[in-house]
Amino acid sequence: MRPSPIAGLTRRRQEVFRGILRFLATEGRYPTGVELAHALGRTPDATWAMLRALTREGLVERREGQYVLTPAGLEVAAALGTTVWRGDEEVQTALKLLGVSHAAIEDGR
């Protein structure tokens, strides 16, 4: 059995990961590093350090200056969206934008 990708997410990495989803929900697109830092109220350097860690874990990648979720990142977003972040309306909006429904998540699709 492979280890859960959620297990490697520290509180700060979860905060940045959640910030990506919230930005997507409000802006309708993925954020740049600077936009995400501003949205989180953190310095660009601190944000980029967390983004690099999420990139190393295979959860996000940089495309055309924006930080987007990888397939593994979508899996983690779906798992967190039905558990830890179930009551977060912005996260739920982002999951809908990404085509991740509760039924698909709960059925393991």
Q: Where are the domains of the chain?
A: 10-106
pLDDT in tens, 12-37: 889 999 999 999 999 999 999 999 99
Looking at residue 19, its amino acid is G
Alpha-carbon span 11 to 68, nearest angstrom: 20
Q: Where does the pLDDT of residue 39 fall: very low under 50, low under 70, confident under 90, or very high at 90 and above?
A: very high
- What pLDDT is attached to residue 100? 83
Query: Which class would CATH give 10-106?
Result: mainly alpha
pTM (2 d.p.): 0.84
